[in-house]
Amino acid sequence: MKKSLVVGAAVAALGSLLFLGGCSSTPTVQYTDSTAVDTLSTNFSSTDLQMTTSSMVNSLVTSPMISNAYKQNGGPMIIYVDNIKNNTDQHIDTGMLSDAITSQILNSGLFQLVDMNAMAAAKKQLDFQAYSGMVDQSKAIQLGTMTGAQYMVYGNISTMNASNGSQSSVFYQITMSMMDLKSGLIVWQNTKQIRKVSN
In a domain, residue 185? The reply is: yes
| Cα gap 106→103, rounded to integer Å | 5
Q: Is residue 122 part of a domain?
A: no
Read off the pLDDT of residues 39-79 as tens digits, 9 standing for 90 and up: 889 999 999 999 999 999 999 999 999 999 999 999 999 99
Sheet holding 77-86, edge to edge: 111-113, 77-86, 151-164, 167-180, 186-198
Residue 136 and residue 101 in contact, taking contact as beta carbons nearer than 8 Å: no
Report how far residue 186's alpha carbon sits from residue 71's, in angstroms, rounded to the nearest whole number: 18
> Count of CB atoms within 10 A of residue 63's CB?
18
| Other Cβ atoms within 10 Å of 68 Cβ, number | 11
Least confident of 19-28, 136-145, 160-169: 19-28
Q: How many CA atoms lie within 13 A of 146 on its CB side?
A: 12
Residues sharing a CB contact under 8 Å with residue 91, sequence separation 6 or more, in sequence order: none
Contact (Cβ atoms closer than 8 angstroms) between residue 112 and residue 142: no
Domain of 167, CATH number, reads 3.40.50
The answer as to whether 172 is a domain residue is yes
Q: Note whether residue 164 is domain-resident.
A: yes
What pLDDT band is residue 27 in, cutting at 50, 70 and 90?
confident
CA 109 to chain centre: 21
Q: What pLDDT score was predicted for residue 15?
A: 55
Q: What is the pLDDT of residues 89-142, one digit of tens each?
A: 999 999 999 999 999 999 999 999 999 888 889 999 999 999 999 999 999 998
The predicted structure's pLDDT at residue 114: 93
Contacts for 54 with CB less than 8 Å, ≥ 6 apart: none
Q: Domain of 84?
A: 42-114+149-198
Question: Do residues 173 and 147 touch, judged by C-beta distance below 8 A?
Answer: no
- Whether residue 59 is contained in a domain is answered as yes
Q: Which of 117-121, 173-177, 183-187 has the lowest mean pLDDT?
A: 117-121
Give me the sign of the Cα torsion angle 26, 28, 34, 40. negative
pTM greater than 0.85 (yes/no): no
pLDDT of residue 119: 87
Q: Is position 136 within any domain?
A: no
Neighbouring residues of 28: CB distance < 8 A, sequence distance ≥ 6:
none
Domain presence at residue 46: yes
Task: Say which range, 28-37, 79-88, 92-101, 188-197, has the weakest mean pLDDT.
Answer: 28-37
Going by the DSSP 8-state scheme, the letter that residue 29 receives in this structure is: -
pLDDT at 82: 93
State the total domains in the chain.
1
Kindly tell me the number of DSSP H helices and DSSP E strands found in the chain: 5, 5
Q: How far apart are CA 185 and CA 43, in angstroms?
A: 34
Name the residue type at position 13.
A
